């Protein structure tokens, strides 16, 4: 049985219908990330699960209950928002206990739960402060604490880290992951447009675009075997290199051809083996273009070098093709250095030109 089950849901959103019967199942204790660019429907889906948006058709199940028509407070969920949404006129203690007071929880129980949540998030010393006396990171901790005291089976996160600076984002990301491991059986659904957050936090990622789930899979599947050009381009930084070319017959197998260059595809797992001669797009991640001087694609030169500390990102060109390559940071490369690239057919992705689907 799944913890959250979205079945054939359509949402009427200000007279526009979104989701044409969208379905997704989340297992108990799973960390699911909804990843996509703005406007892809990820927040709409989350709000529909929370009950903040009415669904037009379909059903939403949480645990063993059909909650499609239930009020948000009755769904057994807790939610953390991008703008923290702390009640500005209450102190931290008031913010944490508001929901429990609404639910008429006994006073001792409220105190116990607030103390417990504050201890987990290390905000005990802030309990008597007001939100405007807190820093951004502290506010988001309080917002997470407010979700924590509800003792909910499902946590919903709506871009909780987007308003924080890079350093704090990393810290709180770890914190959220720790929280998930610590709570064990709590299901978490997390909306973000940040692929690093998605890859680091998720058990499974649902990549969304245009109100549709493009791919649902583990971070490794999403990263290494993207189902289409959109997923391949959206996940991964720096972006995957795309090379337009053709498939050619080469002996018993196929080879990818672009200009005079060939890449034998013997090691590539085709979904359905395509016929030779069709145009295709080759996708190679920057770290999979080994530049050790013994590559099968010689004749490139370094054009631009971007050191990032651990790695150097080198834009290599041979006049026709420009490819981004990730090289170890200790190797110094100056623009103009000749480079031979090694492409491994095991690690590339091939997409049909036109439809963009994986071959």
Q: Which residues bind other proteins (CB under 8 A)?
A: 47, 50, 52, 71-73, 77-79, 81-83, 85-89, 98-99, 102-103, 146, 150, 158
Query: Which residue, 90 or 127, has its beta carbon nearer to other proteins?
Result: 90
CB of 170 to other proteins, least distance (A): 23
Query: Which residue, 89 or 331, has its beta carbon nearer to other proteins?
Result: 89
Query: Which residue, 73 or 346, has its beta carbon nearer to other proteins?
Result: 73
CB of 144 to other proteins, least distance (A): 12
Query: Which residue, 85 or 352, has its beta carbon nearer to other proteins?
Result: 85
Query: Which residue, 95 or 195, has its beta carbon nearer to other proteins?
Result: 95
Name the nearest CA neighbour of 302 among 294, 291, 310. Answer: 291
CB of 124 to other proteins, least distance (A): 21
CB of 30 to other proteins, least distance (A): 21
For the chain, list the strands marked E by DSSP.
4-13, 16-26, 31-35, 55-62, 65-66, 77-80, 154-158, 187-192, 204-209, 212-217, 241-250, 253-258, 261-264, 279-284, 289-290, 297-307, 311-317, 322-328, 338-343, 349-352
Q: Compute CA 86 distance to the chain's CA centroid, rounded to the nearest angstrom.
A: 25
Query: Which residue, 88 or 184, has its beta carbon nearer to other proteins?
Result: 88
CB of 64 to other proteins, least distance (A): 21
CB of 102 to other proteins, least distance (A): 4
For residue 138, give the 3-state DSSP assignment: helix
Name the nearest CA neighbour of 134 among 95, 107, 178. Answer: 95
* Non-local CB neighbours of 133 within 8 Å, separated by 6+ positions: none
CB of 77 to other proteins, least distance (A): 7
Cα–Cα dist 46/212, whole Å: 14
Please give the torsion angle defined by the CA atoms of residues 136, 142, 145 and 147, in that order, rounded to the nearest 10 degrees: -80
Reduced 3-state DSSP string for 226-266: CCEHHHHHHCCCCCCEEEEEEEEEECCEEEEEECCEEEECC
Query: Which residue, 81 or 242, has its beta carbon nearer to other proteins?
Result: 81
């Amino acid at each position: 049985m799944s913890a959250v089950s979205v079945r054939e849901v359509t949402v009427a959103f200000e007279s526009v219908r979104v989701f044409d019967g969208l379905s997704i199942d989340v297992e108990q204790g799973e960390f699911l990330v909804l990843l996509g660019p703005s406007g892809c429907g990820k927040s709409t889906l989350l709000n529909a699960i929370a009950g903040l948006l009415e669904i037009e058709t379909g059903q939403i199940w949480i645990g063993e209950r059909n909650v499609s028509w239930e009020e948000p407070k009755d769904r057994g969920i807790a939610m953390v928002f991008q703008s923290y949404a702390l009640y500005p006129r209450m102190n931290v203690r008031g913010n944490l206990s508001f929901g429990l007071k609404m639910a008429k929880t006994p006073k001792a129980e409220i105190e116990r739960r607030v103390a417990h949540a504050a201890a987990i998030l290390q905000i005990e010393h802030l309990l008597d402060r007001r939100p405007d006396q807190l820093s951004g990171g502290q506010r988001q901790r309080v917002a997470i604490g407010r979700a924590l005291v509800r003792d909910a089976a499902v946590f919903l996160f709506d871009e909780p880290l987007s308003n924080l600076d890079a350093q704090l984002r990393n810290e709180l990301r770890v914190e959220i992951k720790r929280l998930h491991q610590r709570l064990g059986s709590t299901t978490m659904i997390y909306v973000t447009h940040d692929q690093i957050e998605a890859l680091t936090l998720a058990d499974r990622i649902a990549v969304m675009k245009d109100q549709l789930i493009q791919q649902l899979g583990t971070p490794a599947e999403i990263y290494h075997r993207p189902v289409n050009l959109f997923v391949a381009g959206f996940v991964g930084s720096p972006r995957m290199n795309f090379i337009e070319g053709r498939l050619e017959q080469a002996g018993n197998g196929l080879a990818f051809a672009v200009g005079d260059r060939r890449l034998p595809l013997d090691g590539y797992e085709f979904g359905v083996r395509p016929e030779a001669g069709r145009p295709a797009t080759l996708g190679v991640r920057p770290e999979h273009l080994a530049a050790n001087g013994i590559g099968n694609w010689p004749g490139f030169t370094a054009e631009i070098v971007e050191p990032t500390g651990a790695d150097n990102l080198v834009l290599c060109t041979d006049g026709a093709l420009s490819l981004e390559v990730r090289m170890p940071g200790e190797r110094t490369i100056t623009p103009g250095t000749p480079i031979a690239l090694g492409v491994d057919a095991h690690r590339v992705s091939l997409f049909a030109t036109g439809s963009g689907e994986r071959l």
